[in-house]
A = this chain, B = another copy of it.
Amino acid sequence: MSNFDATKPDIRLWADLVKTLVPYVPGEQPKHNNLCKLNTNENPFPPSPKVAEAIQAEIANQADNLRFYPAPESDKLREVMAQTYSVNPNQIFVGNGSDEVLAHIFACFFVKNLPVLTPDIGYSFYPVYADTFGVDLQMIDLSKDFSINIDDYHQDCAGIIFANPNAPTGILLELDKIESLLKNHRNAVVVVDEAYIDFAENKSSAVSLIEKYDNLVVTQTFSKSRSLAGLRVGMAFANPSLIEALNRYKNSFNSYPLDKLAQVGAVASLQDVDYFNDCCQKVIALRQNLVNDLQNLGFEILPSQANFIFAKPPVAMGETKQVFEKLREQGVIVRHFNKPKISDYLRITIGTQKQNQRLVECLRSL
């Protein structure tokens, strides 16, 4: 079995759907130590020190606590989250990273006889979910400046989904425009994927709208702003009736998606408010510095409100793909999407001062 070729499996016993699936490919996680890893939008700072303390406490006494199943609905975590975000616990659903939450959202709200609308440039997992659940996902072109024009979404649909700030552009859609979408699509579920919202200067989260619009779902994650990609915690905020659908689907799929350590770690992260705010501010400041440095090198950069920037190298540097490869040769890993409209750009995660400096120096030497 060691000579098995995964690209040529025997599909005789597979269900038809699986034969056609083209999975999502996450950014690589190279093991090399001296790499400057600016490719998967992880936080350059460690999580709150309270996280390690809480996990430490949970594994006291030879980790005897781990014998028992975790709280299936993550009650304590949702309670603390409710306080943090000024909502009710029954307006919160938590899952194994926001990717799992998004998968459940597709299953619960988008499997209907109408299309779901999404920007043609966005999180590339959305089309994969659509295939997994048999959803007719229709791509709506972004404007020429890469922003979402809500007027392009005036059609009958089962739902709308987009990242805000959008990925990989980093551009933020204003809250009043989201409210317009919600008003114009009362019978569609509008999903705002706020994986990066904590890096927006005015933190204009749509969570504030869930009380008013029963057709709104807002997703967030602990993987970016809370430096906990390794712990797998994501959540959705919505009207309790939508949350109940997510609960029913989850409990028909896997009762315990969050282990005990993820639950206590996430609670500790939420409770350390100052650390969190400080960390977000530092990333925002680093972003501004990096934008300045790259603009000085001739880069064109979209206005980012995320912990990454989408940047087009100056013509003098050669083709973007080559810039990407040259950086890689020097141990600086960023992300390049070989896709129409965006192949001239690099998505660069905001690193520490030192990492950003290394990137800038490498680019200067090209």
A residues apposed to B, CB below 8 Å: 1-2, 4, 6, 9-18, 21-26, 29, 37, 40, 42-47, 49, 51-52, 55-56, 59, 61-72, 87-88, 90-91, 96-97, 99-100, 103, 107-112, 128-129, 131-132, 187-189, 211, 214-215, 223, 227-232, 239-242, 244-245, 247-262, 265
Contacts and interface: CB of A to CB of B under 8 A. Distances in A.
A229 B109 contact: no
A230 B251 contact: no
A207 to B, nearest CB: 13
Find the residue from A37, A65, A69, A187 having the highest chain B CB count within 10 A: A69
Nearest to A63: B52
17 contacts: A2-B88, A9-B240, A15-B109, A15-B110, A23-B247, A24-B251, A26-B255, A43-B67, A46-B62, A46-B63, A66-B230, A66-B231, A68-B230, A99-B256, A230-B259, A232-B259, A261-B261
A24 B40 CA distance: 36
A49 B62 contact: yes
Given A47-B67, A259-B259, A111 B16 contact: yes
Contacts of A87: 1
A71 B40 CA distance: 13
A88 B1 CA distance: 7
Contacts of A9: 240-241, 244-245
A260 B265 CA distance: 12
Contacts of A239: 1, 10
Contact of A240 (B6, B51, B61, B211): B6
B88 A245 contact: no
Contacts of A227: 66-67
Given A109-B15, A245-B14, A99 B63 contact: no
Contact of A64 (B46, B97, B242): B46
A181 to B, nearest CB: 15
A63 to B, nearest CB: 4
Contacts of A51: 59, 62-63, 66
Contact of A252 (B23, B97, B107, B261): B23
Contacts of A254: 96-97, 99-100, 103
A23 B253 CA distance: 8
Q: Which 8 A-B pairs have the closest CB atoms?
A: A23-B251, A66-B230, A230-B260, A4-B240, A10-B241, A15-B111, A9-B241, A46-B64
A108 B264 CA distance: 33
A131 B252 contact: yes
Nearest to A17: B111
Given A4-B241, A9-B244, A232-B258, 19 more contacts: A1-B87, A1-B88, A13-B242, A14-B108, A18-B245, A18-B248, A21-B252, A24-B255, A29-B72, A40-B68, A51-B59, A55-B59, A56-B56, A66-B231, A103-B253, A132-B253, A230-B261, A231-B260, A259-B262
A278 to B, nearest CB: 14
B4 A265 contact: no
Contacts of A132: 249, 252-253
Contacts of A109: 13-15
A129 B30 CA distance: 36
